[in-house]
Amino acid sequence: MIILQWEEPSDPYRITKAACQLQDGECLLTWQWPKDVEYVYIYSFPDGAEQAVELLTTKQLKLFTREEYKAKSGYRERIDYIGLRGYRIFPCRRNDGKLTVLRQLDESNSVRMSGGRAKIRCSVKYGSKLFSKYKSARIELFCEIAVPQEALCYVKKEGANPTHKDDGIAYPFMDDFPVGRSTLPQVEIGKNDYIKVFFTDSKRYSEQFALMYE
């Protein structure tokens, strides 16, 4: 494992205009090369899990040259992941035969790519007791990838199923959801109440997840 040498970037060596697009099942990553930069390190990471540069090793980075970029019209990576993924391009300088990586951490050298939305399958099962004012409700979820608790809530409404997050009383979940099936503790609701699961922020989380009802 090569120990990385870092230094602060200066304007002539900054990566700019980083962009990405889906092309034939691949993420095509492009950027504007600085005049005197012949090498970059490409760092790929799950969205929201970017590590501090001090923790990065060469195993997590892909060395890529300007000549390779010209030959392939950019950097290409097969999309075999679900959800959002981040990419950061670090410019490099060669000093005394060794590469020095520039610690560029702005938006000009960073992009995000969606590898498709992970499915969250949701069902609600009810149980009732004769002559009781209440009934039980149990939520079951099946998640293709781990889902943070703050992404979802359940909404209770009297008389009919709620149609959106604000169509009733919203309740948060207390724990994150792991990959696979999760059966939540039974809750007691009114006999005429119904519950349904929604995103807490549809615009934010619908980019990464597809909520499906069974």
Give me the pLDDT at residue 2, please. 65
pLDDT value, residue 51:
92
pLDDT digits (tens, 9 = 90+) for 106-128: 999 999 998 878 899 999 999 98
119 Cβ contact list (under 8 Å, min separation 6): 142, 143, 144, 209, 210, 212
**Chain centre to alpha carbon of residue 149:** 14
Per DSSP, helices labelled H in the chain are 66-72, 202-205
Q: What average pLDDT does this structure show over 167-183?
A: 96
Buried b (16+ CB within 10 A) or exposed e, 96-113: eeebbbbebeeeebbbeb
pLDDT band at residue 79 under the 50/70/90 scheme: confident
Structural domains in the chain plus CATH codes: 5-114 (2.60.40.10), 118-213 (2.60.40)
Please tell me the distance from the alpha carbon of residue 31 to that of residue 19, in angstroms, as a whole number: 6
Q: What's the whole-number average pLDDT of the chain?
A: 92
Q: What local confidence, expressed as pLDDT, does residue 75 receive?
A: 97
Predicted TM-score (pTM) of this structure: 0.64
- Cα Rg, the chain, nearest whole Å: 24
pLDDT tens per residue, range 35-63: 989 999 999 998 878 999 888 988 899 99
Tell me what the mean pLDDT of segment 148-162 comes to: 96
pLDDT band at 92 (very low <50, low <70, confident <90, very high): very high
